Amino acid sequence: MAIVKMKKLTLLGMRAEREPILRALQTMQCLEVTELQGETAELIGQVETGHDSSDLQRVKWALDKLAKYDKEKKPMFGQYPNIAPEESARVLEQRQDIMALTTRMENIERELSELRGQETRIRTSAQQMAPWQGLDASPDALAASHTVMQMAGEVPTRNLQTLSDALSPYPAIISTVGTLQDKSLVYVAVHHSAKENALPLMEEAEFVRENFSQLGSLTPSEFSAGLQAQEKDIAARREQLAKDTESLALHIPEFKILHDLLSLQISQNHAAGKSAQTATTFLLEGWVPAEYADRMTAQIKKISPACAIRFEDPADDEEPTILFRNGPVATAFEPVVEGFSLPTYRGIDPTAVMAPFYACLFGMMLSDAAYGLIMAVALLAFVKVKKIPVRNAKMLYMLIFCGGATVFWGITYNTFFGFAPLPGLARFFPLDAVNDPLPVMGLCLAIGIIHLFTGLGVAMYMNIRRGDVAAAICDQFSWFLLISGLIMLILPPTAAVGRILALTGVSIILLFKRRDTLNPFKRLLSGLGALYGMSSWLSDILSYMRLFGMGLATGVIGMVFNVLISMVWSGGIFAKVFAVVLFIVCHLFNLGINALGAYVHSCRLQYIEFFGKFYEDGGKPFRPLDMKTRYVSIQNAHAE
């Protein structure tokens, strides 16, 4: 149970030294800069970040475009390659050159966009001209005759024969050159002497003249051939641009380093933007883990001997941010607490107390030794091969511990891939959820009671730590007595003692629930209202029956799979091969679905039943000015 003790830092220094001081603090990664309050807030200055932010967005865009050429993908769980300070300095010196490469990529993207637009227009024109390939005349040729009116256009197919018959008495010809849906594309030639008679007939037949202005002196087929040539040129240019882009992939390492350097610089600028400043000085406040105070003072004094530094304990009305500090086992279970809500600074970190219960509950619900062994061994091998520390992969380590607990409970239930391979274990672990469920139910309820009592114990500890012993006795210990007494009443040998304990607990609750008032009626009514909480205790205890239900479901589903697979196994060699594959798939599915259920329900029992007895939430996480990056690990280097 370790919420790190915080100190409030107040730092006054020369404005010219603000950047190197913040750089050192960022390297230490132990200061969360806070907004100034009161009169000093009026002196908060603006720190220009636009140039760096713009460059960062452009570099990020370039990396996204080059991602398909990146052979070194982003590592898992923060195992980033280390970059020497000399390499960072070299990249900073080449910042303008790298940004010029980004500009080159932007120009390539702009040209590709223009090519896509051209290609769209070409394809649209090609689609328009495709039906006219049978017209062997250009617009200029159609307009060249002085005695004959030539034109091309479309007419509804239903009217084509009518138009042809109507024009037959006149010196005119009409021929079909193509079709388009329910339209016929036609060429019409009419002698000028019949023009006045032919045009009304053509209008009556819904003839629409085609405008071939884009063709010029080309025929539709010649124009289409030109479009095809343009498409080939565009394809060739696009291929060349793709090669140009691929050639820039050689600079991906520099892009990544510059991206992270700019990110660090922007984080530093944001921290500087929270400080107050005058023409020559700056003032900064923030939260620092108490253990770093001396080292931070020494580091800052090296940079600025004249800098004034003060560390103070948080005031009563101040709520520092929350940082956990646990051992390697408890650290793995921190995501469970973080997924609910962080405790208040003056509250308590329940991780260490909760961790063994969480693993136990998870193991009872998954309850198959083979499943637990697969989880533990596979995940342990993965984190060891990848050399991932606990803090970078808490969830994986938590599942490793939960896998170990599952192995224990799987052996206890004598369940291995849904089988019971060790019948002799029944002498030592007489638990069989399928054939004899009552002992298992009793065990689940007993563990639930212990879990709930532990929550009450934590609440007592918190009250005693605050000096409120009366609350510890009246609000928690009284329920210990009452619940314990009621349980003992069930057993004849302990019924007498249980009666005494229960009556003692009831008396304390009735008389001291409202101990802040001397009015006996208010005390009695408040006590009676508190005793109604027995119903919630009953529902809380019964909630632990899900341990039995989930464990039973895992075993029964595994048994059903085994029965079905045994039926397949009874066939020939191909059936046996299929049965092996089916065995693996089915049990992996059973493992996955029930592990997910065990995770969710274990969290539920912690959040509702356990935390409900003592937890005080509302804390905010500690967000220090740090060196977190996306692609590489950088130390002591910043963008300029």
Q: Give kind and range of the element (H or E) at residue 177.
A: strand 172-180
Looking at the structure, tell me whether residues 21 and 142 fall in a common domain: no
Question: What is the per-residue burial (b if ≥16 Cβ within 10 Å, else e) of 174-190?
Answer: beebbeeeebbbbbbbb
Contact 322, 32 (CB under 8 A): no
> Is the same domain home to 21 and 106?
yes
If we measure between CA atoms, which residue out of 223, 172, 179, 177 comes closest to residue 202? Answer: 172
pLDDT at residue 531 greater than cutoff 80: no
* Angle (deg, nearest 10), helices 18-28 and 252-272: 110
Q: Is the residue at 233 inside a domain?
A: no
Reported as a single tens digit per residue, the pLDDT across 186-222 is 999 999 888 888 999 999 999 999 888 888 788 888 8
Q: Are residues 345 and 287 in the same domain?
A: no
3-state secondary structure 401-438: HHHHHHHHHHHHCCCECCECCCHHHHHCCCCECCCEHH
Domain-embedded: residue 128: no
Give me the mean pLDDT over the 137-151 stretch: 83
The alpha carbon torsion through 463, 467, 472, 475 (nearest 10 deg) reads -80
pLDDT at 106: 94
611 and 636, same domain (yes or no): no
Model confidence at 230, pLDDT cuts 50, 70, 90, reads: very high
The predicted pLDDT at position 607 comes to 93
Say if residue 469 is in the same domain as residue 583: yes
**pLDDT confidence of 333, banded at 50, 70, 90?**
very high
Nearest CA-CA partner of 547 in 616, 594, 487: 594
Euclidean distance between CA atoms 635 and 83, whole angstroms:
8
Give yes or no for a contact between 102 and 181, defined as CB atoms under 8 angstroms apart: no
According to DSSP, residue 3 is labeled B
How far apart CA 227 and CA 133 sit, in angstroms, is 13
Residue partners of 325: CB distance under 8 A and separation at least 6: 2, 3, 4
Q: How confident is the model at residue 445 (pLDDT cuts 50, 70, 90)?
A: very high
Domain-embedded: residue 77: yes
Residue span of the structural domain in which 21 resides: 1-120+242-323+622-640
- pLDDT exceeds 90 at position 59: yes
Cβ–Cβ under 8 Å, residues 616 and 322: no
Q: Model-level pTM?
A: 0.80
Do both 28 and 162 map to the same domain?
A: no
In a domain, 505, yes or no: yes
Q: Which of 274-278, 466-470, 600-604 has the highest mean pLDDT?
A: 600-604
Mean pLDDT throughout 54-73?
Answer: 90
Give the pairing of strands 6-14 and 281-289: antiparallel
Measured in whole angstroms, how far is the alpha carbon of residue 99 from the centre of its chain?
Answer: 30
Same domain, 86 and 206: no
Total Cβ atoms within 10 A of residue 436:
11
CATH classification of the domain holding 147: 3.30.70.2750
Q: Rounded to whole angstroms, how far apart are CA atoms 206 and 571?
A: 75
Using an 8 Å Cβ cutoff, are 49 and 266 in contact? Answer: yes
Q: Are residues 507 and 575 in the same domain?
A: yes
381 and 494 housed in the same domain: yes
Give 261's contacts (C-beta < 8 A, 6+ positions apart). Answer: 88, 91, 92, 634, 637, 638, 639
Mean predicted lDDT score pLDDT of the chain: 88
Query: pLDDT for 382-440, tens place per residue?
Result: 999 888 888 888 999 999 999 999 999 998 888 888 887 766 555 566 677 777 888 88
Please state the rounded mean pLDDT for residues 622-632: 90
Token pair listed for 545: 């029956």
Query: What's the pLDDT tens digit per position in 483-504?
Result: 888 888 888 888 888 888 888 8
Residue 228 lies in a domain: no
CA distances from 213 to 140, 217, 219 (A): 9, 9, 11
Residue 86 belongs to some domain of the structure: yes
CA angle 34, 37, 40 (to 5 degrees): 105
pLDDT digits (tens, 9 = 90+) for 15-41: 999 999 999 999 999 999 998 876 565
Instruction: With beta carbons less than 8 A apart as the criterion, state whether 174 and 188 touch.
Output: yes
User: Cα 452 from chain centroid?
Assistant: 33
Contacts 24+ apart (CB under 8 A), 278-282: 278/15, 278/43, 279/15, 280/14, 280/15, 280/16, 281/12, 281/13, 281/14, 281/15, 282/12, 282/13, 282/14, 282/15, 282/18, 282/45
Domain count, the chain: 3
Confidence of residue 639 (pLDDT cuts 50, 70, 90): very low
Q: Do 416 and 525 fall within a single domain?
A: yes
Same domain, 318 and 335: no
Q: Is 329 exposed, middle or buried (0-12, 13-18, 19+ CB in 10 A)?
A: middle
Task: Decide if 131 is inside a domain.
Answer: no
Question: 351-366 and 437-465 are packed helices; what angle lies between their axes, rounded to 10 degrees?
Answer: 170
Does the residue 469 lie in any domain?
yes
In a shared domain, residues 319 and 333: no
User: What is the rounded CA–CA span in Å between residue 595 and residue 600?
Assistant: 9
